[in-house]
Amino acid sequence: MDLIGGLSRLFYKLGFFAKTLGAVGSFIKRRKVSTRILVMQIYFTFVQAMGISTLLAMGIGAGIIVIGMPFLEMIGQQDLIYPLLVIIITRELGPLLTAFIIIARSATAIATEIAGMVISHEVEAYISVGIDPFEHLAAPRFLGVTISVFFLNLYFSIFGLGGSFLVVQIFKNMPAGYYFSNLLANLSMQDIFISIIKSLAFGMITSIVALTEGLGVERASTEVPVAGLKAVSKSFASCILVYILISAIFYIV
């Protein structure tokens, strides 16, 4: 029974994802008043998360330098710090930590907001006057979260690598041209591509899970916080599984 229930929930989410993608096309074409929801979603998810992302990115970049540089100098391989920075910040930790930040901030907010609208019969009111809830509620939030994860991941990489340069100056006076030329020499198109794929996948997963959990409540107000908690836990689990899958595919292939 658990297997059947799990499969049914999976197919439900896949159907919800397909329906949301269709609504995104209509949303972009018509540009209705719900465009404001898209703008506010990007503002809340991306702009307001820039502060914590800056601190986290620079802290990780600094940690890699502080821990890695002395050890690599001991074995005469200090130039390996550049591919190490690119792999950890741009390819691996950047997309995942960015997704975690947005899950903690936005998955709960979206799920509880939508759940509250279901409990208060707002979604039914939209349907009764001919407004498609997928186009008005799901599409702008799906787009907003996915776009935000993409740009926050880019922002994270820039500050992670830039923060590393500031730490390098504490240990040794290294010219900026030398540092960044070495980084760019070790930054391949595959690294960028993998980072983009992961960020887009994490953004879509987070938004779909939050929306489905929010719309999945019944009538009790006590279900609203539960929907938020489920959105966070399921988003974390789903993103980690997809992260492992994508990494395995690219490293094996």
Q: What residue numbers bound the domain in which 240 lies? A: 2-252
Mean pLDDT, all residues of the chain: 84
Separation CA 19–CA 38 (nearest Å) = 18
pLDDT of res. 209: 92
DSSP for 183-237 reads: HHHH--HHHHHHHHHHHHHHHHHHHHHHHHHHHT--S-TTHHHHHHHHHHHHHHH
Residue 99: pLDDT over 90? yes
53-97 tens-digit pLDDT: 988 888 888 888 888 877 877 887 877 888 888 888 988 888 999
**pTM for this entry:** 0.87
Q: Pick the residue with more confidence: 1 or 208?
A: 208
Cα→Cα distances 96→23, 81, 202, 218, 244, Å = 27, 21, 8, 32, 11
pLDDT of res. 1: 46
235-250 tens-digit pLDDT: 999 999 999 999 888 8
Separation CA 115–CA 215 (nearest Å) = 6
- Write a three-state SS string for 103-135: HHHHHHHHHHHHHHHHHCCHHHHHHHCCCCHHH
Residue 188: pLDDT over 90? no
Closest CA to 87 of 55, 69, 61, 59: 61
214-234 tens-digit pLDDT: 888 887 788 888 989 999 999
Residue 8: pLDDT over 70? no
Q: Pick the residue with more confidence: 178 or 201?
A: 201
Closest CA to 238 of 13, 16, 41, 8: 13
Residue 5: pLDDT over 60? no
As for how many domains the chain has, the answer is 1
117-137 tens-digit pLDDT: 888 888 888 888 877 788 888
